[in-house]
Amino acid sequence: MGSLLAGLLAVGFALMVSLVAPPPLLAAMDYAKQSLIGADFHGQDLRGTTFNLTNLREADLGNADLRGASLFGAKLQDANLRGADLREATLDSGILRRADLRDARLEDAFAFNARFEDVDITGADFTNVILRKDQLRALCRRAEGTNPSTGQSTRDTLGCT
């Protein structure tokens, strides 16, 4: 009877821990040089994932966790990045034509040669993002709103005058 009770307690404890403990992190994926047109990554944990030279046209990356992800040379035309977390991501040489970056977090991202054309950046946080001056000027013309997560004004995070 004592060993049965001990066994039940052990199972109960293991079940309780499994319900409280966070799930293990998945290994970062490598989607380099793939065609993922219209792919649905909405709300997914994509930390550290590689999308170098990947075609993500019309992909849904809304509310995805892309911290530290590499999107070097990625084609993100008409992509949904609304509410995405792109902190410390690499967007260099990416094409973000007509991308939806509303409420996205891009703090400390590297986007020096990225092309932001006709993008919606309402409420996006660009704190410490490295951008070319021509892209910065173009983004400042569109900048408005406040990021709901950081409370920072888009214009202020870009350093618009």
The answer as to whether 137 is a domain residue is yes
Between CA 117 and CA 103 the distance in angstroms is: 17
Q: List pLDDT tens digits, range 133-146.
A: 999 999 999 999 99
Residue 58 maps to which CATH number?
Answer: 2.160.20.80
The answer as to whether 143 is a domain residue is yes
Q: List pLDDT tens digits, range 79-126.
A: 999 999 999 999 999 999 999 999 999 999 999 999 999 999 999 999
How confident is the model at residue 4, as a pLDDT? 54
Give me the domain span that covers residue 157: 27-161
The answer as to whether 156 is a domain residue is yes
Cβ contacts of 73 within 8 Å, gap of 6 or more: 52, 53, 92, 93, 94
The answer as to whether 47 is a domain residue is yes
pLDDT band at 28 (very low <50, low <70, confident <90, very high): confident
Which range among 23-27, 49-53, 93-97 shows the weakest confidence by mean pLDDT? 23-27
The answer as to whether 6 is a domain residue is no
pTM: 0.83
Q: How many domains does the chain have?
A: 1
